[in-house]
Amino acid sequence: MTNKVAIVRYEKPLESVQKVIRDCGGLDHLPAAARVFIKPNIVFWTKTCNFPKWGVITTSRVIEDLVITLKEHGVDDITIGEGIVADPKDTETPAHAFKSLGYETLKERYGVKFINIMERPFKKVDLGEGISLKINTDILESDFLVDIPALKSHNQTVVSLGMKNLKGTIDIASRKKCHNADRDKDLHFYVSKIADPMPPGLSLIDGIYSLERGPAFDGRMRRTNLLIASPDLLSADLVGAKVLGHDPVRVKHLALAAARAGRPLDLSDIEVIGEKIEDVISYHEYDFEYDCNDSGEMPAALAKQGLAGVYYRKFDDTMCTYCSALNGLILTAIRQAWQGEAWDGVEVLTGKVMEPSPGMQATLLIGQCMYRKNKDHPEIQQMFAAKGCPPEPKEIVEALNKAGIKADAALFEQIDSLPGFFMGRYEGKPEFDEAFFRVE
């Protein structure tokens, strides 16, 4: 069987979305009186400041155009649902996101419902091969799913498209479980199976903007003007990976899903309609460069600055979302603390599998998982730990300071405002238009 994937250049509101859906036959199997669930990608939000959203978050433009299209097909029961990365007890941040992105206007204008998945029930679902996840019941009980990820590369999974976007439908414990230390059933294994229990539907990749070195606001954003759609989620992801310049063979979760489905990774069973892949392909780096030298391993940007005596090993896929949100901040704190004099062998460990290196004078264990694994390790000379899940910023500051890295506590106190500083990269560039994230 040939799977259809359409690629369309985004040119006009509504018209472009309707064309890409029509070209791939995306609504040909939409049931009558269907309960439709729309899953956007809102990977991050803060109430404190404006921050760059281009390629990070699904545009409200595409969401509204889809809603209009569904209404024209006679669909009355439409729910938009997302589980924004935040404290599950924090209901204000998701509510602020939904209002800011215009979902309240969509409710008033079209009768659409919107839900914070973290406030809704979950159902434990057996995914086979000895694993299970708790998945939002609203999406499981829907008749039709429209999965609308942003077009982005990802520092742990190479790409983040339709399949990865569904990770936002599981509860907190399940998200942490996905980042486990089992190398046979790792993050990629879990992500490859998340789509299995989902209802049939449409994958619509929003590439009006794309993101390099995602998934968050510290990546490099581009105005790409592409839409990719298919009634088959895996096919859309395979094409999306190629458009981002990545061979699906090297995207582990896609390779696993294709192997289980008996699908080739060379796209030979996919009919691409519209734009040709070779005409729209644009390589998106998926990770930040790291250096390993006499000073130890650290991000290349820090190594070029001359930092020495600190060993900050590259994080791996066992570090879950909640610790990874602090990772860049810790690196920034170390960079700002550098005064030109080498530290005395300080190592920072993250995730669930790292082990201390011999000869280090001080070892920082970041997060509960790392602390439990290594708190009694014989190679540790001096241990300083931030034990929370995720750790409190003040714990991290204290651990850094005790290890001789004089971190600025104010940096961590301003954590909610820091994303706004990235807006400066896009000032004066009219192609980065905030209006795409509003419903007028």
What pLDDT score does 417 carry?
Answer: 86
Q: Which residue has the tokens 């694994």?
A: 373
What pLDDT score does 303 carry?
Answer: 87
Over residues 379-408, the pLDDT tens digits come to 999 999 999 998 999 999 999 999 999 999
Over residues 131-179, the pLDDT tens digits come to 999 999 999 999 999 999 999 999 999 999 999 999 999 999 999 999 9
Contact (Cβ atoms closer than 8 angstroms) between residue 116 and residue 83:
yes
Measure the CA–CA gap between 200 and 234, rounded to whole angstroms.
12
CB-based contacts of 172, cutoff 8 Å, min separation 6:
88, 118
pLDDT band (50, 70, 90) for residue 321: confident
Domain closes at, from 258, 286, 314: 286
One domain, residues 257 and 312: no
Instruction: Answer yes or no: is pLDDT of 293 > 70.
Output: no
Contact (Cβ atoms closer than 8 angstroms) between residue 52 and residue 434:
no
| Structure token digits, residue 324 | 């990874």
Find the mean pLDDT for residues 428-440.
Answer: 96
Find the mean pLDDT for residues 64-75.
Answer: 97
Identify which of 309, 290, 286, 311 has the alpha carbon closest to the alpha carbon of residue 300: 290
User: Is 255 among the domain residues?
Assistant: yes
Contact (Cβ atoms closer than 8 angstroms) between residue 342 and residue 309:
yes
Instruction: Answer yes or no: is pLDDT of 437 > 60.
Output: yes
What pLDDT score does 342 carry?
Answer: 92
Contact (Cβ atoms closer than 8 angstroms) between residue 184 and residue 192:
no
Domain closes at, from 271, 286, 301: 286
What pLDDT score does 39 carry?
Answer: 98
One domain, residues 51 and 28: yes
- How is 107-141 classified by DSSP, letter by letter? HHHH--EEEEGGGS-EEEEEEETTEEEEEEHHHHT
Express as a percent the part of the chain with pLDDT over 70.
99
Instruction: Answer yes or no: is pLDDT of 1 > 80.
Output: no
What pLDDT score does 302 carry?
Answer: 87
One domain, residues 13 and 46: yes
Instruction: Answer yes or no: is pLDDT of 200 > 80.
Output: yes
Number of domains in the chain: 2
Continuous segment of H or E residues that includes residue 397: helix 393-402
Identify which of 375, 380, 374 has the alpha carbon closest to the alpha carbon of residue 360: 380
Identify which of 327, 343, 348 has the alpha carbon closest to the alpha carbon of residue 404: 343
What pLDDT score does 322 carry?
Answer: 85
CA 241 to chain centroid: 15
Q: Which domain holds residue 198?
A: 3-286
User: What predicted TM-score, i.e. pTM, was given to this entire model?
Assistant: 0.96
Contact (Cβ atoms closer than 8 angstroms) between residue 226 and residue 207:
yes
Over residues 89-127, the pLDDT tens digits come to 889 999 999 999 999 999 999 999 999 999 999 999 999
SS (H, E, C) 242-259: HHCCCCHHHCHHHHHHHH
One domain, residues 170 and 31: yes
One domain, residues 317 and 240: no
Q: What are phi and psi of 114, to 5 degrees?
A: -140, 140
Per-residue burial over 287-314, b if 16 or more Cβ lie within 10 Å, else e, is eeebeeeebbbbbeebbeeebbbbbbbb
Q: Which residue has the tokens 């990820």?
A: 149
pLDDT band (50, 70, 90) for residue 64: very high
Mean pLDDT of the chain: 95
Contact (Cβ atoms closer than 8 angstroms) between residue 329 and residue 346:
no
- How is 350-393 classified by DSSP, letter by letter? -TTT--PPTT-SEEEEESHHHHHHHTT-TT-SSEEEE-SSSPPH
Contact (Cβ atoms closer than 8 angstroms) between residue 205 and residue 151:
yes
Over residues 242-282, the pLDDT tens digits come to 999 999 999 999 999 999 999 999 999 999 999 999 999 99
> Residue 12: what residue type?
K
User: Is 391 among the domain residues?
Assistant: yes
User: DSSP code of 47?
Assistant: S
One domain, residues 215 and 308: no
> Residue 140: what residue type?
L
Per mean pLDDT, which range of 25-29, 84-88, 351-355 is the poorest? 84-88
Express as a percent the part of the chain with pLDDT over 90.
87
What pLDDT score does 294 carry?
Answer: 53
Selected residue with higher pLDDT from 54 and 413 = 54
pLDDT band (50, 70, 90) for residue 86: low
The enclosing domain of 204 has a CATH number of: 3.40.50.11440
Instruction: Answer yes or no: is pLDDT of 63 > 90.
Output: yes
What pLDDT score does 78 carry?
Answer: 98
What pLDDT score does 296 carry?
Answer: 57
